[in-house]
Structure 1
């Protein structure tokens, strides 16, 4: 199950179920691949056919549809890897394209085509990571693990999502500066069944970077989809929302605004709302935001850390900043990545 912001804020985790990973490929060892992928232009015939296909599907003009990511792919059969159970597919490699089309609402639709656009299929897969990029990510992780640990890992990609990165790919910079550019790419979670590595890439896989701070083997990271921030007000600088998972559910909201006011509200079924406001010193505020930067809070944006145990109900906490949110199960606090633990404990001390 992919986690959406509407789900998070609608119940905010009033009874958070254990998220399931998006379907990934069978566990495999990555094949050898070329070192560099050259950008190839998308043929006009393919572009036009994809726009026409989505136009017909949504009932809107083609000029309202934008083409975003695309990559040259080799499909494993004549159905472009999208054949149904009763469909007969030619067992032959088919050269073609994967294309992302963007509707006016901002929603993404992925299409697979042959080389010329004579065959076009809309993907209904949960995971649309391009196969060529998937292979490059798996090869990178395989090489890293083999060199570091001297073993042959059996790897799979459990989840992936599109991202638009800054010049640092959403990761901390040694200089503290990132080019103000937009890089289309992906974020993927790779596992060997024990450890979960999180990688940030460009669209083709020429740049593949490990998000070391967010990778872990003690809890399960999942990807949150949809808008990444759920702040209550425009002047909110940081916020947490905690929700109990039992039958007598409660919700606790703590908000830090731009004026240094820290407000605490608790909502419990059939009981009056509890409120408290305290003022923080500028030194406290500066110290907290310095700690966020020192512990790479940005590296955790858009992630949900769930318990490894099979629990139906558990207390959940969302930490929110203007740039995004991270979500975790409260019972897993001691198992979270170390930098995230330090951020959480500092926030709790301020309250």
Structure 2
């Protein structure tokens, strides 16, 4: 087999294949994990390696070039790295292809199990479902509605770093408590994340599918310039940018931290 691979390489005008190590360098695996975390809004610490296999790709595009004329016609040794999140409530696998040096890292969409990252078809948010404007100095708000017979719970982030939770009581007033106060640097970092993830482009979108069955728990998420509604059960089907915002918000509330950038 090695003879024929070398002969093929010589006929194609390239040098014979070098010996392929059984495992890739650790930093290359970490690059694949960082790529998956960024691409799909996952926490890098939650991503594990399911499988690593040495491969010899059919061309310089790692077999993913299709009919592209600019793909070098040479056998390219490398690896296939399969990643997963074992703690996710839905099955998923991300497959990446790499060359031997690690200078090329490509996502294999066809080889990946993308059940967890299917983009849900959105609707337009009905005028009656639009929430009131944000309070003054609030920069982010989540209104969580679990069932129709229970009042919604509202959590807000203010410019001074306060994260405040508001819950209507049976007496008709509102119980307000400060969950935590984050630093000005974290406030700036979170608003920057909203800009980088282009949250404003989701304005007026409703990801809660119409249903005649039992109502699902939903969240109406707002900034001063955008409002979007999502169903909690379908968070895994949202666009990766929106998932990244949701997970950053959860970390702010639970730990007063934001995900580390890869």
TM-score normalised by length of structure 2? 0.45
Larger Rg: 2
Higher helix share: 2
More strand per residue: 1 or 2? 1
